[in-house]
Amino acid sequence: MGERKLDRSLNIKTIGIREWGDGEVHYNRYEATPYAALDKLFERYKLDKSDSVVDFGCGRGRVAFYIHNRFHVPVTGIEANDKTYEEALNNIESYRLRAKHIKAPIKFKYGLAEQYEIKPEENRFYFFNPFSIKVFRKVVNNILESVKEYPRTVDLIIYYPTVQYKQFLRKDTPFELINKIRIPGKTDKREKFLIYRLRQQDIERETG
């Protein structure tokens, strides 16, 4: 099934690219994660009802709607582009008409990712190369501060990871790479998901 048909099945519109204006150096353009890639990811990586997901740089909301529809878990999307954020809000109105049976909340927040306050229940964080390493560092450090205050196991799910992201997580954080999911048929070696985990017992050991 093509991207447009899959969009229609969720009653949303997420196709297309949006570039930032001149002068924006820390936030990358909007481009949705392919549905085929999401299918491959979630064949091997499962969410359960206790999980709560945050999609940083959510764009028009494709990942958020996909996860919400498939797993019925709470999802929050963070978007810093005002036009794209408005499109996400339009999508949520139309999506809810078709997903009234799903009780879990889905919402979008407008603002900079590094200024988002991580909630104690949020434990799964999705990134599709949305911003510079400078912003990524701040966001990950916010997550680390949250888990110190409210110990829990947290995962980072990163699509199309940059060298800078990988080096930072390996050298400067306690996160451990637990899974690597490649997309079949793709020649670009970067086109994969990396999943990093910080376990609750490791946090408690450090802070205990």
What secondary structure, in 3-state letters, does the chain show? CCHHHHHHHHCCCCCCCECCCCCCCCECCECCCCHHHHHHHHHHCCCCCCCCEEEECCCCCHHHHHHHHHHCCCEEEEECCHHHHHHHHHHHHHHHHHCCCCCCCEEEEECCHHHCCCCCCCCEEEECCCECHHHHHHHHHHHHHHHHHCCCCEEEEEECCCHHHHHHHHHHCCCEEEEEEECCCCCCCCCEEEEEEECHHHHHHHHC
Tell me the average pLDDT of the chain.
91
Residue 74 in this model has a pLDDT that exceeds 60:
yes
Residue 131 domain-assigned?
yes
Residue 130 maps to a domain: yes
Quick one: average pLDDT of 47-66? 96
Contact 159, 129 (CB under 8 A): yes
Per the structure block, which two tokens stand in for 113? 């990712």
Over residues 151-161, mean pLDDT:
96
Rounded mean pLDDT, 191-200: 96
The answer to the question of residue 85 being in a domain is yes
Range of the domain at 61: 3-15+28-207
Residue 21 resides in a domain: no
Q: Band of the pLDDT at 21, cuts 50, 70, 90?
A: low
Q: Burial-class residue 113 by CB neighbours within 10 Å (0-12, 13-18, 19+).
A: buried
- For the cut 60, the answer to whether the pLDDT of residue 58 exceeds it is yes
Going by DSSP bridges, is the β-strand pair 154-159/176-182 parallel, antiparallel, or unpaired? unpaired
CATH number of the CATH domain containing 9:
3.40.50.150
Structural contact between residues 156 and 195, judged by C-beta atoms closer than 8 angstroms: yes
Task: Evaluate if residue 113 carries a pLDDT over 60.
Answer: yes
Is the pLDDT score of 85 beyond 90?
A: yes
pTM, full prediction: 0.92
User: Residue 193 — φ and ψ, nearest 5°?
Assistant: -105, 135
- pLDDT at 204 (0 to 100): 72
Indicate the pLDDT class of residue 121, thresholds 50, 70 and 90.
very high
Does any domain span residue 102? yes
Is residue 112 situated within a structural domain?
Answer: yes
Q: Using the predicted structure, report yes or no on whether residue 25 has a pLDDT greater than 60.
A: no
Q: How confident is the model at residue 59 (pLDDT cuts 50, 70, 90)?
A: very high
Please check whether residue 183 lies inside any domain of the structure: yes
Q: Provide the number of structural domains found in the chain.
A: 1
